[in-house]
Every structure is written in C-alpha cells, then in structure tokens.
C-alpha cells in the first residue's frame, strides 16, 4: 500500500483507539482524563527557552496576587514601557508550551514598533505559581492581567489586546466579555482593539485537523476554547494574522474567524509565514496593520472586511 495511505490509516486507528479508551474510562476517571488532557494541551516546558538572551534592563517584573487567588498562587508578568511617554500599550497573551522567556523575541518586535507591553505567564508557567492550567484558569489569569493593564495604561484609546496561538483564544474570550459588557451597559469599550495571530476556531477543530479525522472530537474534550462562538461579540476593531505556511494551525481557521467577526476588521495572510514568524516576516506591513487598527472606527458592523496578503 502507498505510504501516505498507511499514514492516514494509522492516524485513524489511533483516533478510534483514543475515542474508545475515553468512552470506556469516562464514567470512572473523568478527573484523571481531564488532567491528562490539560497536561497534553499545555505541554509546559520548564526553565528558560534555549533562544532566550536575558531580560532587557528596562523591563519591570511584576507579581500579580489578587485576593481571589488561593495561598501560594500568583501571576508573574513583564511590563516593558515604550521609550515614548504614554505610548499605546499591548496586553500580550501567549500560547502553549513556552513561558515568557520563549516569547521575548515577539515582545521585542511589538515594543520596537512603539508599544508598551504587559505580558504574563499563566499560573503553572515560568515563575507564575499555581497548578496545571485549565481553560477556566487561563481565562481568569487574563482578567487579572487586564485589571493591572488598565492601571498601567489608563487611556482606553491606547489599549490593545494581543493573543498568539492558544493565547488568541484567551484574548478572544476576554475581548468578547468586554464587548458584551459594553453593549449591555451602553458604555464605551475600555479597549481600542484586538490582534490575534496563528489562532484557531476551537480546540476540537485543531484536534480533528491534527488527527485527520471526522470523529466527534468536540464531545470528548473538556477544554473547549470555542473562539468561533465568541468572535462576533467583541464589538471592537480586529486584526487577524496568520502565516500561510503554518504547519501547526491551518490558516483556514483564521479565515473562518475573520468571516464570523464584525466590522471593522482586517485579515493579514503572510506568505511563507510559519506558526511563529509571521510578525517578523510581515515586517512593516504587520506594523502598519496594527497602526491602522489603532485608527479604525469602533463601530461594529457587517461581516465584510479587508483581506491583505503580505508580499
């Protein structure tokens, strides 16, 4: 048989085996299965990333410990103010596996573009103290960071939320809550806009794509990250970025999020961009897209929007 066919067959057999194991073990060991799922999802790498070259002197290290956290829990954060006083600021929410030391190269690019950056490690990552993360805990951590972010940059017109990969799902959840609250209370949005890069519609969609299966993966996952169901609620300018050579998260997921979102919005597809280098490869076009986001009108409208392909 052709090698490609055998590979697909093995993937499907593995998917069926996992599904059967989950169904059989579900009644007796839900907690064990959920813990294993979370461990596999976040894949936390201990220590510092191999490419980390040290923290710049102007970065301030913060420990966020809200009263609602249990004893011994805290969020470690970096606040890197821009050289220009009262510059616009970005709340940076990272994805799985790497802690802040693995994110510095991307944070440096945002600051070089003239933005102050507040970046956090979720509890369980890096120097943050806490248990194995979950969908609910990373959402809560983003809200804690948001509270401090508002203090660091008091001007709502100078605030952006940014999420990379799974951090994009965290960012969408936060932005949707802020958007719904503003719409309900008939108050101005407390943030200028949202940037999401290399992210997905839902965790189930990614799992199905990786396993190359049409099985109902959604029913088996306790961690949902259903961004596609929330994206229309953000009610703020949106920039969606995806590398067209992303081997981990297919670009079609960003295209689907973009289609489901309201105006004003822009989709920036980066030819040759992988899961991690679209910001660097996009260069000036990426920077201009963020700058344009800062000037976009904050009135949610239709589902049509602007699509750009970097070159």
**Residues noted as catalytic:** 165, 246, 275
Residues 6+ apart with CB under 8 A from 263: 299, 300, 301, 302, 303, 304, 305
CA separation for the pair 144, 123 (Å, rounded) = 11
Residues 6+ apart with CB under 8 A from 267: 240, 241, 242, 254, 255, 258, 305, 306, 307, 308
Q: 311 exposed, middle or buried (CB, 10 Å; 0-12, 13-18, 19+)?
A: exposed
CA separation for the pair 286, 153 (Å, rounded) = 23
CA separation for the pair 82, 67 (Å, rounded) = 30
CA separation for the pair 46, 12 (Å, rounded) = 32
């Amino acid at each position: 048989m052709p090698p490609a066919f055998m590979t697909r067959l093995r993937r499907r057999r593995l998917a069926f085996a996992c599904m059967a194991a989950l169904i059989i073990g579900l009644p007796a060991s839900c907690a064990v299965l959920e813990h294993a799922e979370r461990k596999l999802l976040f894949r936390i790498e201990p220590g510092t990333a191999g490419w980390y070259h040290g923290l710049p002197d102007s970065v301030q290290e913060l420990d966020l410990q809200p009263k609602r956290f249990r004893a011994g829990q805290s969020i470690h954060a970096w606040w890197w103010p821009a050289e220009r006083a009262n510059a616009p600021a970005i709340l940076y929410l990272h994805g799985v596996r790497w802690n802040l030391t693995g994110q510095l190269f991307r944070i440096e690019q945002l600051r070089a573009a003239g933005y102050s950056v507040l970046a956090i490690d979720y509890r369980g990552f890096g120097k943050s103290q806490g248990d194995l993360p979950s969908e609910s805990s990373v959402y809560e951590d983003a809200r804690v960071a948001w509270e401090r972010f508002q203090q660091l940059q008091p001007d709502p017109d100078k605030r952006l939320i940014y999420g990379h990969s799974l951090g994009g799902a965290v960012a969408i959840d936060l932005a949707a809550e802020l958007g719904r609250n503003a719409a309900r209370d008939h108050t101005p949005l407390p943030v200028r806009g949202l940037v999401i890069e290399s992210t997905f519609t839902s965790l189930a969609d990614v799992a199905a794509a990786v396993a190359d299966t049409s099985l109902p993966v959604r029913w088996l996952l306790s961690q949902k990250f259903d961004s596609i169901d929330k994206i229309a609620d953000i009610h703020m300018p949106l920039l969606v970025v995806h590398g067209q050579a992303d081997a981990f998260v297919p670009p079609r997921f960003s295209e689907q999020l973009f289609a489901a979102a309201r105006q004003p919005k822009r989709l920036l597809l980066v030819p040759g961009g992988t899961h991690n280098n679209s910001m660097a490869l996009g260069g000036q076009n990426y920077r201009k897209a963020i700058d344009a986001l800062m000037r976009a009108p904050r009135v949610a409208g239709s589902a049509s929007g602007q699509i750009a392909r970097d070159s």
